[in-house]
Amino acid sequence: MSFDLAKALKELQEQEKTMEKLYSELLKENNDEEVVKGLRSIRREGRKHLKLVQELINHDEKMKSPEVFSKVEPAEEIVLNQGATNLLVTKPANWFPGVLSVLKALEGKQIAYVALNKSADTLKSKIKEAGISLDGVKFVGTSKKNFMGKSEEASKNLPTICKAVSDAKKPIVIFDHVASLANYNPLESLACFIKSMTEAAAQEGFVVIFVTTEKPAQKLLIELMKSLIHNTIKTKKAPIV
């Protein structure tokens, strides 16, 4: 069954409303100075939460407009020669439109998509909503949650990823996104992993596309990737942010 975001947000809003009511009732029933001070502070925070959830509900409504993601334009300058290595670095808010623009540019091609960040089911439905065909795209090694599962141990198992890519036997491989691996692996291990993937691409003749997001904590990782990966993909500014 697919996940209903609108329903989940409404449920969250109901919970926050219940909490706000509870604090207000407690405030009416208590006059101890310390208790009142504490409850007011908690209720103040709760009211902020209600505003945030309302913002999310409004945002979700806006995003339901079918044309929002379909306006994403195909990415430019992806090198598809055998053994080519490509890098897409996006701002966190532009990550999904960035991925969509890459997939749009590669529509119809045979791709192994290593989902390191989100579950394959979530990605598939969102990509289809954007009107992009997934014919030829294989989400490799996906588990119930995502490729890695949720455990730290699984995320540390970089050789498993290499094997899954090799087993997929597709001419294009997308790693989305590498920054997720940085949560569990030291930079040195990631450097070895990226290097071995680029070498495997050269030897086996597949094209590799690494996607990652730009965060201050990952500055070194991005510098490292730029030094190992030959081509940088360009995307046009997403119509929504």
Q: Which of 17, 27, 42, 80 binds other proteins (CB under 8 A)?
A: 42
Q: Which of 28, 29, 153, 203 binds other proteins (CB under 8 A)?
A: 29
Residue 199 C-beta: closest distance to other proteins, Å: 31
Residue 137 near residue 103 (C-beta atoms within 8 A): yes
Kind and range of the H or E run holding 172 = strand 172-176
User: Is residue 27 involved in binding other proteins (CB under 8 A)?
Assistant: no
Residue placing its CB nearer to other proteins in the complex, 6 or 192: 6
The answer to whether residues 88 and 102 touch, using CB atoms and an 8 Å cutoff, is: yes
Please tell me the distance from the alpha carbon of residue 202 to that of residue 208, in angstroms, as a whole number: 9
Task: Give the C-alpha separation, 174 to 87, whole Å.
Answer: 10
Are 53 and 45 within 8 A, CB to CB?
no
Stretch binding other proteins (CB under 8 A), from 34-42, 161-169, 204-212, 219-227: 34-42
211 within 8 A of 98, measured Cβ to Cβ: yes
Six-digit token pair at 179? 């920054």
Under rule CB under 8 A, which residues in 86-105 are in contact with other proteins? 92-96
> Considering the complex, what minimum distance in angstroms separates the CB of residue 236 from other proteins?
18
Segment interacting with other proteins, rule: CB under 8 A, options 104-112, 114-122, 157-165, 201-209: 114-122
Q: Nearest approach, Cβ of 207 to other proteins (angstroms)?
A: 24
Task: Pick the closest to residue 88 from 176, 190, 25 (CA basis).
Answer: 176
From the list 35-43, 106-114, 179-187, 188-196, the region that binds other proteins by CB under 8 A is 35-43
The nearest distance, CB 49 to other proteins, in angstroms, is 6
Q: Is the peptide bond before 177 cis (omega within 30 degrees of 0)?
A: yes
Nearest C-alpha neighbor of 126 from the set 176, 86, 167: 176
- Give me the residues that bind other proteins (CB under 8 A), please: 3, 5, 8-9, 11-12, 15-16, 18-19, 22-23, 25-26, 29-30, 32, 34-35, 38-39, 41-42, 45-46, 48-49, 52-53, 55-56, 59-60, 63, 92-96, 118-119, 122-123, 126, 145
